Chains A and B, each alone.
Chain A
Amino acid sequence: NAGVTQTPKFQVLKTGQSMTLQCAQDMNHNSMYWYQQDPGMGLRLIYYSASEGTTDKGEVPNGYNVSRLNKREFSLRLESAAPSQTSVYFCASSARGARAGRPYEQYFGPGTRLTVT
């Protein structure tokens, strides 16, 4: 199993450009997540999808949109990139629904390093 995969690994955008970060998991997990991490900082939740067909905002959703394409795939879109969105973006998934209220382990992808100039 590949686990959680993310594409691309690196990306440079100019201010105002748009792009979509792709994430896929092959573990048949119900829930998927997008996090943002700035250097030396913790992870901030952007959006999550508790189950196929649902999405919810996290701590820092402004400037982003998401699509839970199917159970495997969860994409993150930047409609008009800004320098403040220069960061590393991590996708994660978990078996149990994020709303289950029971213990669950998250599995993380390798990250996408985005630079906006």
Chain B
Amino acid sequence: SQQGEEDPQALSIQEGENATMNCSYKTSINNLQWYRQNSGRGLVHLILIRSNEREKHSGRLRVTLDTSKKSSSLLITASRAADTASYFCAGINTPLVFGKGTRLSVIA
């Protein structure tokens, strides 16, 4: 299975701090995606990182991928209350399989 497992399960930080969440997976993947889910809503794609990339940036998001350790991390810098959501990783597979996510709470 390409299911990712996110860690920690829950994270609470103050506004302005950085938030880091991790994803581990068991089998080799070619690409990995991160999604965000606001409470009661569907998932929204954030960023995709390919297996030949080690790091990728998009605005306040920074994603790393270590294929040797089968892990990825998502860093959100200068967090805002609006970043409060659950974050999921998914290895590219046919079709995508999601883990349980990290619930991020950003306190204003």
Contacts and interface: CB of A to CB of B under 8 A. Distances in A.
A83 interface: no
Interface of A: 4, 31, 33, 35, 40-43, 45, 48, 50, 58-59, 90, 92, 94, 98-111
B100 A41 contact: yes
B41 to A, nearest CB: 6
A42 B45 contact: no
Contact of B99 (A42, A94, A98, A109): A42
A106 B45 contact: yes
B71 interface: no
21 contacts: A40-B103, A41-B100, A42-B98, A43-B88, A45-B96, A45-B97, A48-B95, A50-B94, A58-B95, A90-B43, A92-B42, A94-B95, A99-B94, A103-B30, A103-B31, A103-B48, A105-B45, A106-B43, A106-B45, A108-B44, A110-B41
B50 A103 contact: yes
Main secondary structure of the interface of B (DSSP, over half): loop
B6 to A, nearest CB: 8
A1 B83 CA distance: 25
Interface residues of B, number: 23
Interface of B: 30-31, 33, 35, 40-45, 48, 50, 88, 92, 94-101, 103
